[in-house]
Structure 1
Amino acid sequence: MKDVANATNYLNMDNKELFKIYSKNKDREIRNILIERHLYLVNLLARKYINKGVEFEDIYQVASLALIYAIDRYDIEKGFEFSSFATPTIVGEIKKYFRDKVWTLRVPRRVQELSKKISEAKLVLEQESKKHPKAKDIAKYLGCTEEDVLEAMEASYGYQPISLDATSNDDSEDKDITLIDKIGQEENNFRDIEHNDFISKFMETLNELEIKIFKDRFFLDKTQSTIAKELDISQMTVSRLERKIVDKLRKEYEKNI
C-alpha cells in the first residue's frame, strides 16, 4: 500500500519536484514517470529524421535511450530547462547513430571517427557556452586543425544522399514537386550587394592615402609605379601600404565569415 501511495504522490508532482527527488534517490519509478512525460520530445525530434534511410522505429529507440541518458545526467540545480538540456543530447545520439550505421558514401575511417568526436564536442561546448560552437572552437577543443573539422563536418552530410527526383514528403500543396524543382538559381545581385556593403564598411577603416591606393590598385587596375608617381612617393612605399591593406582586408573578412 505504501508503494501505491508513493506512486500516486509522484504522479501528482510536477517535473521540477520529481527531478529534485530523482537526483537524490535515483528511484526507477520516478524515472519512468519522467520518461513518460518527455516522450513527446523523443517523437518530435525523431520525426525530423524520417525518410533518411533508417526506419522510424530505430530512430525512435535511439532517441528514447538518449532521453533516459539525459534524465540521468540532468542537474536541476544548474537552472536549465530539461527540454533545453535534453534536446542536444537526443539529437547528438541520433546523428551519432546515422554516422555509425548509415554511411552510404565511402568516407575515410579517420573522418568518420573525427565526425563522432565533433558531435560530442558540440554537445559539450553548447552546454558550456549556451551557443552553437564555431569550427575554430571545436578544433581548439579537439586539438586538431580547423580544416580537419570542416572536412569532417562536410563529410557527415554524405551518409544518406537523397535523389533530386524525390518528391516532398510533407503535407503541403507542393508535395508533388521534386527536390530539383526547389533548387533556386544563384542571384548574383544579392552577392554584389553583400560585397559592396563589406567593401564600403572596410574602407571606413582606412585613411585617405590607403583609400587612394586601394581604389587605384583593385578597382582602376593601376600599377604600383603609376600610383607612386601620382602620389610622389616610392614604389616600395606603395607596395608596403598595399600589403598592409590586403592584410587588414583579410582580417576583416575572417571576422565576418
Structure 2
Amino acid sequence: MKNVARATNTTKSIQSLQNYNEKELFLLYSENKTTEIRNELVSRYLYIVEILSKKYINKGIDYEDIYQVASIGLIYAIERFDINKGFEFSSFATPTIIGEIKKHFRDKGWSIRVPRRIQELSKKINGAKNNLHQKLQRAPLVKDIAEYLECTEEEIIEAMEASQVYTPKSLDLTYDNDGEDKDIKLMDLIGEPDKNFDNIENKEFLDKTIEKLNEVEKKVLIDRFFKNKTQMQVAEDLQVSQMTVSRMEKKIIEKFRSELNKSLM
C-alpha cells in the first residue's frame, strides 16, 4: 500500500509540475533540486537537443550517440543555469550542448590526424551529396561533386579516402566472398610483416660477427652449431682437450652476446 501511495503522489507531483512555466520551474529547481523537476525541464527543452544533434548527421558518428551526448549537455546546462541572471535558457544551453558534442567528436572522431582542409572538404562533400542526390535524382559521381564544390576530382577523391579514417574499423568486419560459403574478415586482407626481413637481418648480424672470430673459433662454431659435431669430435680434429673446446664455445657465445648488445644500443 505504501508503494502504491508513493507512486500516486509522484504522479500527482509530475502533473502539478506541468502547470508551471519555465521560469517558475527553474526557480523551483534552484530551491529544491529533485529528479522530478529536472526531468520536467529536460522534457521541455529536448527540442534543442534534437535541433543541434541533426546538424552533425553524416559526420562519421551515429546520430543516436550524438543525441545522447547532447542530452547530457542539456542536463549540464540545467544544473548550471541561474534564472536570476536574466538570460534566456535556450541561449545559455546551446553553447553548452555544442561544446559537449564537439568534445565527443574530438575524443571519438578522426582516428588519424589529417589536414584541416581535408576535414573541411569532407564535411562539404557530405552536404553536396545530399543536395546533388535530390537535384539529379541519382547518386552523384565524383565529377558532379567536384563541379558543385569547384574542386578538382583528385581533391574530392583524396577527401573521400581520408574520411575512411574518421572512425576505426573492427578487424572482425566481414566482406562478402563472391558467393563463397565463408565471408572474408578484414584481418585476413591486411598484410603482415614479412618474416624474410627478420631472416635477412639475422644473417647480416651473423656474418658480421663471424668475421670477428679467428680461424679456430670459426671452425668450432661451424662444426658445433652447423655440422652438429660433438665437443669430443671437434677436440679430436683440433687435437685439444674437450674442456678446451667447451671454453672456446663459451668465449664464442660471449662474443655474439656482446655484438648483439651493441646492435641494440
* TM-score range relative to shorter protein: 0.3 to 0.5
Which of these two proteins has the greater Rg computed from alpha carbons? 2
Give the TM-score of the pair, scaled to structure 1: 0.47
